[in-house]
A and B are shown apart, each in its own frame.
Chain A
Amino acid sequence: MKIVVCVKQVPATTDAKIDPETKRIIREGTKSVLNPFDLYALEEAIRIREKAGGEVSVLSMGPESAKNVLTEALSMGADRAFLLCGREFAGSDTWATSYALSRAIEAIGGVDLIFCGKQAVDGDTAQVGPGIAAQLDLMQAANVSKVEKISPDAVTVSRMTENGSDLLRLKLPALLTVLKDINEPRVPTLKNARKARRAEITVWGPGDIGADPDLIGLNASPTRVVKTEPPAVRNTVTVKIGGAAPEAAKALVGELTGRGLL
């Protein structure tokens, strides 16, 4: 089983404080981490390899510093790591990212199964997984909560929906995006972490993956950010209620119904 796991470097959200003006949280810091959802994708891929044999490759697109998250993936147990890097890729939206990653998956070659996290925590779009499946014309299942069965030519999975779950059988190669429910990602051992830091990461530019220059980067991205602004200020007026419980309760219920909240 040849598996590719797509991962993303995202800003860490450990530092935060409240803006006294807007009463909103400002996240600070320049630290980057492996997208938390991708850990579940990676863990699932490693578990399948441990059972069925084969190889797990991790793939990312990003700046040189994204090597750190690939090293983390290697520490967890991935066999090989690939980074798409170069200014030609900069400014890619989800369409252009999906295209570039799909070219890289073709370049890795002979891939049976692709795993992605449910979404990245910085963009929250959940688009790149299905986007890659579209580019490669593969069957896809998003929000997978369990891999039930895997054979050389098909995979059976449970997919969570709002009302329950579906049992799906996909022909390989296929793409799966996974939920946190699927497993508990391992924490790398020190032994593996030391080994991973000595491992080589393959860095590819557009030419290495045979990418069409007109389909990568900012210029090839259908969506453009045209404006950014701070979010609406939280209502800074706090309505204060006090007094004995029955009166306070009356006042609170009055407020809530008055605002149409109950």
Chain B
Amino acid sequence: MKVLDELDRKTYKNVWTISECTGGAVHPVSYELLGAARKLSRERGCEVWTVALGHGIGGNLESLFACGADKIIAVDDERLRAFNDELECHILERLVKKYRPEIVLCAATSRGRALVPRLAGKIRTGLTADCTGLEIDTENGDLLQTRPAFGGNIMATIRSGEYRPQMATVRPRVMPMPEPEVGRKGEIIRETVRPEDALNVKEILGTIERHEATVNLSDARIIVAGGRAMKGPEGFKLLEAFANRIGGAVGASRAAVDNGWIAYPHQIGQTGATVQTDVYIACGISGQIQHLIGMQSCKTIIAIDIDDTTPMMKLADIAVKGDLFAIIPAVMKELDERA
């Protein structure tokens, strides 16, 4: 698909999302995508379609309708149980050419980030990664895709005007979860895996589900991080209890890791992990720039410290002055009382 003229472009319509049903269950980001697609479709006066590739996905289709899909292209096949880049790409390439969507949205999960660049490469169209904003240009109807660039220093708005479909990925929890409309109905289009789709695809020898708890700071919604003022490994035990209580992960400043209080994978900052959580609770972290680099993009920053003159306390959205070892247990107690 080379550069398309205006007439050609008009033959592409509807907003598609690629739902994620690997393993049979729907990843919540799929609903968030439908919410975003719904908004765009209203402006374009078109329908929302979603493509559901997987195995044993039948029970999930209603939820996709409830969250905004008008039509679902369902491909239910044993070979789609685990994510096979080539196979899914072959199927999608065929479907895109057949139904000609104007916009295709996909989740920026590990699957989506591998799948759609391959798809965009094959069909020669534009793809914008990790969009935080999606809008329709009122002048020409093109999709305006906004994403952070240069380490979050600027927001860039991107257009792939002359190419169709216009493709974008969105990270989980960036778009709001739509309110499901129970009983909302739509049409299911059944497609199958064709023999040619399955040519020249990798072999999936096995899938191992992870059960052990690993440090996954990048996926956390809340991080409770501790610094020098945690005083020792016992301080981090307290943070762990706090994090467990509120469904968060434990992070640390370099000072805490250097002191041997917690392992290096927990370290946040220039020489550790970079995180972008909804909530970041900095406990006794003074906020040296090297640490701030790793967490500045978190949405809401809470600082708890005895010293309210630190950079972290000044930067925070909510700054709590006081003794950590009194406040954190008091917060947990307060939460228990409210629960």
Residues of A near any B CB (own CB < 8 A): 11, 13-14, 16-18, 23-27, 93-95, 98, 121-135, 137, 139-143, 156, 160-171, 174, 177, 221-232, 234-235, 237-246, 248-253, 255-257, 259, 261-262
Contact = CB atoms under 8 A, between A and B. Distances in A.
B113 interface: yes
A162 B289 contact: no
Interface string B53-95: 0000000000000000000000000000011011001000000
Given A94-B117, A125-B117, 20 more contacts: A11-B150, A25-B292, A94-B127, A134-B117, A143-B114, A161-B111, A163-B210, A167-B207, A174-B202, A222-B160, A223-B127, A228-B156, A238-B319, A239-B318, A244-B322, A245-B326, A245-B327, A253-B334, A256-B279, A257-B338
Contacts of B49: none
Given A123-B149, A228-B155, A229-B154, A13 B293 contact: yes
Contact of B126 (A95, A244, A257): A95
Given A222-B160, A241-B319, A133 B207 contact: no
Interface string B103-143: 00000011101110111111011111110000000000000
Interface string B317-339: 11111110011011101110010
A206 B290 CA distance: 41
B26 to A, nearest CB: 13
Contacts of A98: 117, 121
B8 interface: no
Given A161-B110, A168-B202, A240-B308, A261 B279 contact: yes
B314 interface: yes
B315 interface: yes
> What is the interface residue range for chain B against chain A?
35 or more
B334 A95 contact: no
5 contacts: A125-B117, A224-B160, A225-B156, A238-B318, A261-B278
B300 A261 contact: yes
Interface in B162-210: 162-163, 200-210
A142 B154 contact: no
Contacts of A255: 318
B318 A250 contact: no
B289 A17 contact: yes
B208 A131 contact: no
10 A-B pairs closest in CB distance: A134-B121, A222-B126, A249-B330, A142-B114, A245-B326, A127-B117, A164-B210, A223-B126, A130-B117, A125-B129
Given A25-B289, A126-B113, A224-B160, A230 B154 contact: yes
B159 A248 contact: no
B226 to A, nearest CB: 16
Contacts of B219: 162
Given A222-B160, A224-B161, A252-B302, A235 B317 contact: yes
Q: Which of A14, A94, A124, A243 has the largest count of B CB atoms less than 10 A from its CB? A: A124
A233 to B, nearest CB: 12
Q: Which of B201, B270, B320 has the largest count of A CB atoms less than 10 A from its CB? A: B320
A221 B130 CA distance: 18
B334 A250 contact: yes
B110 A162 contact: yes
Contacts of B335: 253, 262
Given A230-B154, A249-B334, A25 B296 contact: yes
A238 B160 contact: no
